[in-house]
Structure 1
Amino acid sequence: MNSRRFLACLADDYARLRAVAETDLDAAVPSCPGWSVADLTRHVAEVYLHKSAIMRDGAEPEPWPPADCATAAPIPLLDRAYAQLVDEFAGRSPQDSALTWYAPDQSVGFWIRRMAQETVIHRIDAELGAGAPFAPVPDDLAIDGIDELLRIFVAYAVAEYADYFTEILAESPGRTYRLRADGAAWLVRTGPKLFTVDDAADEPVDGAPAAVDVTVSGPPAALLRWLWGRERDGDPSEVTVEGPPEAVVELRRCIVTATQ
């Protein structure tokens, strides 16, 4: 996906989040314990304002968040924050330098991608809270979101902050996971201080598929929601999971720790 496509997806999901939030700001968000839809909306607004400040000032804003965010009405705050964010993006090239938490990519393009993915997940949160149907997630955005989660969040976090994963991975026997969405597949390997991600061809190599402990497969949007823990209770899952439960727990614990 290119930055123009990410910005288009960002616009769509901001609009969907805003529309859903307006229907029930007081609803509890099950995927974000302790938050209402209003809290969720305010959080997204603060994220937008934070990234705008980083790009504008070239440094982490302090103190944070601004005092007025706590008392501002959520929807107007979201609108103001989104306007600032897209204005900052419009004034820069994706290749321009920008401070990020991901050392290999210190660019505006990183934030364009991250804000698109941040927004699609949080509009799903809003839908869960308000009891609204899930709006479609385009396949390309969902596949990119899966890739970002596995590589940029989890694999990077395990490599850079291994101590946070010691309890999860120290006793791991070494496991292999194949994740499949329509048109894309990933091979994840875990072990003590290890979480690696490689592209996995859907077709067997040399006539024999790689041995795996767990296979997780489903449509791109459904797999994205499953990995982020955003499935709706009571709905039948579109994701098929094959493998021992303890191995699935190991994968999920790595994801949760990396995304907290």
Structure 2
Amino acid sequence: MNSLDILRREAEKLAMSAFGQPLHKGVPACPGLNLGETVRHVGSGYRRALEWIRLGREPQAGEWQDHPVEGEDPLEFMRSGAEAALEVLSAHDENEPCATWWPDQQNYGFWRRRLAHETTVHRMDVQGAAGIEVGTVADEVAIDGVDEVLALWLGHKLDVLGVRGSRESFVAVQVEDHVWLTRCGPRGASAWRVVDPEDAHVADAQVTAGPMTMYRWLWGRLPDRMVEVVGDHDAIAQLWALLRLATK
């Protein structure tokens, strides 16, 4: 999976989908979010990532441009941010060290992957707001996105936020031959790939779907009826709720 190619392609798709659309159009999958705010958020995210790299630490509010300047088109704000991010990330090998917000991956590869998925998810949001059919992604990209949201957001971001589940539970997440086991509860949350699917027998519940469906469901963009669920529905509801807190 070439994250830079995905980032470049998805940024252009997002821009094309937003072009000429009223900024107030709501994102169906995210009540309260509109097309214009989504475009602005993506443009701000590119700049925040670049500032994190430049400073070698988390940038504080006001240290990066998070809104278009007066008279600047929000779509151009997003596109210029994408161009700047691609320029910087292309100039460095993915294994070259740099500051990130995940201790397990302190290199440019983290930002390549993170911005590729950030752009992909919000491209889908923009297409939904614009009334355009949501374009698919390659299975390889979606499966990597499933791995990222479980390992990075559920397994790391919740701990940073100090958020815990109310009860200990295990939920298996299956996409074709790929299986992850998630654990949520008072001791924190974690997720890991299962080499042998039989090792997931300890799960209280299981969620199964195709690559793109699971990718979108884990990001809160699809309802439960779009995935197959078996077992303890309360365990699945807890996983869902914690993911919403981690990814908001």
Same fold at TM > 0.5: yes
Evaluate the alpha carbon distance shift between residue 193 and residue 114 of structure 1 in structure 2; reply closer, same or farther with a 3 A threshold: same
Q: Distance in 2 between matches of 1:246 and 1:48?
A: 36
Q: Distance in 2 between matches of 1:85 and 1:70?
A: 19
TM-superposed deviation, 1:200: 2.4
Q: Distance in 2 between matches of 1:218 and 1:253?
A: 19
Which residue, 214, 224, 231 being the options, matches 1:243? 231
Read off the aligned partner of 1:243 and give its amino acid letter: G
Residues 22-72 of structure 1 show CA distances to partners (whole Å, capped at 9, x for unaligned) of 142331113343332111111111111221233234342662443761532
Residues 229-257 of structure 1 show CA distances to partners (whole Å, capped at 9, x for unaligned) of 112x7xx9542122333222100111111
Aligned to 1:42: 40
Gaps (5+ residues) in structure 1? none
The aligned runs of 1:123-134 (5 Å cut-off) are 123-134=123-134
Does residue 1:222 correspond to 2:213, yes or no?
yes
Aligned to 1:144: 144
The aligned runs of 1:12-31 (5 Å cut-off) are 12-26=9-23, 27-31=25-29
Q: Distance in 1 between matches of 2:76 and 2:157?
A: 34
Q: Distance in 2 between matches of 1:20 and 1:187?
A: 35
Q: Distance in 1 between matches of 2:5 and 2:125?
A: 20
Aligned to 1:185: 179
Evaluate the alpha carbon distance shift between residue 200 and residue 98 of structure 1 in structure 2; reply closer, same or farther with a 3 A threshold: same
Residues 68-109 of structure 1 show CA distances to partners (whole Å, capped at 9, x for unaligned) of 615321121122111111111122221222221112222111
TM-score by length of 2: 0.89
Q: Distance in 2 between matches of 1:176 and 1:160?
A: 21
Aligned to 2:51: 53
| Equivalent pair of 1:54/1:61 in contact (CA under 8 Å) | no
SS in 1 for 2:245: helix
Evaluate the alpha carbon distance shift between residue 73 and residue 31 of structure 1 in structure 2; reply closer, same or farther with a 3 A threshold: same
Aligned to 2:65: 66
Q: Distance in 1 between matches of 2:123 and 2:66?
A: 25
Q: Distance in 2 between matches of 1:197 and 1:54?
A: 26
Q: RMSD in angstroms over aligned alpha carbons?
A: 2.3
Aligned to 2:6: 9
Q: Distance in 2 between matches of 1:229 and 1:7?
A: 25
Aligned to 1:258: 246
TM-score by length of 1: 0.85
Evaluate the alpha carbon distance shift between residue 110 and residue 203 of structure 1 in structure 2; reply closer, same or farther with a 3 A threshold: closer
Q: Distance in 2 between matches of 1:36 and 1:64?
A: 25
Q: How many residues align?
A: 245
Aligned to 1:194: 188
Gaps (5+ residues) in structure 2? none
Q: Distance in 2 between matches of 1:68 and 1:251?
A: 33
Read off the aligned partner of 1:178 and give its amino acid letter: A
Evaluate the alpha carbon distance shift between residue 70 and residue 36 of structure 1 in structure 2; reply closer, same or farther with a 3 A threshold: farther
| Equivalent pair of 1:137/1:221 in contact (CA under 8 Å) | yes
Aligned to 2:107: 107
